[in-house]
Structure formats: C-alpha cells, structure tokens
Amino acid sequence: MEDEIKNKLWEELKLLQPIIDKFDGFTFQIKNWFITTFVAIAGVAILHKPALILFNFLLPPIFYSFEVTYRAAHAAFLERGREIQRILRGEPNPKDSAKGPDLAKYLFPGSEAPRRSWLFSFFRFFRVPEDRALENVHATRAILTELRIMVFQPRVSLIYLSAFVANILVIFPLYLGPVGLVVSILLIVIVVLTIRNYQLTRFSQKTG
C-alpha cells in the first residue's frame, strides 16, 4: 500500500475514534432525558392533573426514534473504522476503500435503485432537490434497518417498552380509583407469569 494512502487512512481513523466515543455519550444522554421527562410528567399527573399522563404515551416513540437515528450513524462510523483497520492490516481486496476518506457512503449505506423507491418519490413530491432526496432515501433506509435491529435488543428498547407499560398501569388507578389499582396489580401479575412461563419454555427447549 502506498505511504500516502496509508497516512490518509490513519488520519481518518484518528478522526473516527472520538466521533464514535461521542455517540456512546449521546445515547446515554437521550435515555437520561427520557427518564427525567417521563418521571416529571408522571409526577405532575399523579399529584395535580391526571390528563397529563396521556403525554407520556408520546415520549417513548419520540426518544426511541432519536436514539435509533444516532445508533444508525454510529453503526456506519463503526463499520468504516473496521474497514480501515482491515485495510491497514493488509487484508486483500481493499478496492476503492483505500483511496482515502469517503464517509458519505458509510453514513448513507447504498440500496438498490433508490430513484425508483416510493421514498424518493415522496421527497421529490415536496420539491426536495434530487441529490438531497437521494441522501434522504439512504439515511431513512439506514435508520429503518437499525430500527429493526434495535427492537430486539433489550439494552436499547427495554426502557421504552417498560415506560409504555408503566404508563398504562398508572392510568388505571388515576381514572378508576381502587378498582383501577386492582386491575393494574392483576396486569403486573399476568405479565410476570407470562415472562416466567416463556423463560421456562425456552429453558426446557434448550435442555430437552
């Protein structure tokens, strides 16, 4: 590998590392903001204005979408960092990746025929310039891909799903009084038993 290319790749790798570290901090902050906002609204709703509890149903999807967006970009930077490391180790077929910094294609992973997609038509309908519309298509698809992955990762989605369920359980006592409290307790018992039954079933399948 030419020294000039190798130096460029080393410089790019040095730039990538602090960016990757910052993304880890961003996702942690998003969860902190979510928990703080959720608890604050729930507290005011319980003490003063029960109707405010309905706003808490909007918070999980909003903050979850923020985190998934950051994680999609984070995954792209990580992949670029791994590829640079493979090239610098001298692994075969570096192809065009050895030509120097080119983050755009990693931030917006390519997909087949984006101009024929409904997303591209949607952005063009609102008179978004063609090059910008293509970037939006790639970015949207990257986020949707990351969303499918994150849904099945408890460390990401569990806190939002738990908050959503907790909000439902709080609504019953607020609007139905003692009867609602009983309903909430029954729902908690049902959920715990369902999870326990699922775990036992999985365990028996593995050991059987």
Summarised one tens digit per residue, pLDDT across range 6-30 is 888 888 888 888 888 887 788 888 9
Q: What percent of the chain shows pLDDT beyond 70? A: 73
Angle between helical axes of 154-176 and 59-88 (0-180°, round to 10): 180
CA distance 103 to 121: 25
103 pLDDT more than 50: no
Element (H, E) at 187: helix 178-207
Q: What's the confidence (pLDDT) of residue 112?
A: 46
Long-range contacts at 191-196 (CB < 8 A, ≥ 24 apart): 191/165
> In whole angstroms, what is the distance from residue 196 CA to residue 201 CA?
9
Average pLDDT over residues 68-95: 77
Residue 102 clears pLDDT 50, i.e. is over it:
no
Q: Which residue has tokens 């307790």?
A: 185
Contact 74, 20 (CB under 8 A): yes
Q: What is the mean pLDDT of residues 28-47?
A: 89
Is the overall model pTM greater than 0.85, yes or no?
A: no
Mean pLDDT of 166-186: 75
Which residue did the predictor score with more confidence, 97 or 196? 196
